[in-house]
Structure 1
Amino acid sequence: MKDNPDVLALLDGYPEDLRIVLLKIRSLILEIASENDAVGTLQETLKWGQPSYLTVKPKTGTTIRIDRDTSATGDVALYVNCQSSLVSDWRGMFPDITFGGDRSVHFRLDKPLPEPELRQMITMALTYHSRKRSSVRS
């Protein structure tokens, strides 16, 4: 994946504490995509003004967006398509994490990122379509 200069410029404009956490999540997304053969080619772009990561060849996953959290539930959020079952699945798997509706997971800057759980969520998002296709064939 090529770094998108617009995404990097947006992230550079955030306060340091937000930027550090968002860059950590970005790094996890890139690392997981590069280490997992089930993930298609990843593209970094801006969608709705937010850093976004989508699989393009093949379309194995759903788009992941990350940004500052403008709600009262956290400081940083990871968003997925609300039409997916991902947040519902995660809610059952990780009951101690804060979720927003059917599209987001929220993190506070004053607490460490739950990295093992976040890794699993990112992997599930990046392979969402391929896993759905596999379960239909089974």
Structure 2
Amino acid sequence: MPADVAARFNDYPSAVQPKLLQLRTIIFELCQQHQLGKVEESLKWGEPSYAVKNGSPVRLDWKANHPDHYCLFFNCKTRLIDTFRELFSTYPTITFAGNRAMLLPLSQPLPDAVLKQCLLMALTYHKIKHLPLLGA
């Protein structure tokens, strides 16, 4: 992990760090399992960001204005959040903000299966963007 990204993770509240690190692990595991290539890990707008060659970048963060949630941010010029909203709007622990963010409650377990599907869509976006519901 690059030093600036590690420093950012260390700045998060202790209740937030494990959730965000778990998301980071899922991203790297998905990239390895699906042979998506090298993951570029950096800070974008002060947030840990993850990108692969044929994907759309994903950022992780926690915001003080939503202290009980942590967030996944997606490129707002993609169909990702619209697709996620259509597929998972009834999922009880996921909230969407505009066309760029997914908010997850700190008090709930990580919804692994849903998040893996969403993250894989983002990480393969340029291969699936022409498909209805991004191939879901």
Question: TM-score, structure 1 length as denominator?
Answer: 0.86
Picking from 34, 37, 56, the partner of 1:36 is 34
Q: Between Structure 1 and Structure 2, how many residues are aligned?
A: 128
Whole-angstrom distance in 2 between the partners of 1:29 and 1:124:
11
Quote the residue 2:47 is aligned against.
Answer: 50
Picking from 68, 88, 105, the partner of 2:82 is 88
Question: TM-score, structure 2 length as denominator?
Answer: 0.87
> How far did residue 75 of structure 1 move?
1.6
Whole-angstrom distance in 2 between the partners of 1:40 and 1:77:
24
Q: Percent identity?
A: 37
User: Which one-letter code corresponds to 2:62 in the other structure?
Assistant: R
Matches within 5 A, 1:98-117: 98-117=95-114
Picking from 54, 58, 62, the partner of 1:64 is 58
What is the RMSD computed on CA atoms of the aligned residues? 1.5
Maintained 8 Å contact 2:49/2:59: yes
Quote the residue 2:14 is aligned against.
Answer: 16
Q: Deviations over 1:81-107 (max 9, x none)?
A: 000000000001111221010001001
Structure 2: 5+ residue stretches without partners:
132-136
The DSSP-based 3-state class of the residue aligned with 1:124 is helix
Structure 1: 5+ residue stretches without partners:
none
Whole-angstrom distance in 2 between the partners of 1:73 and 1:16:
12
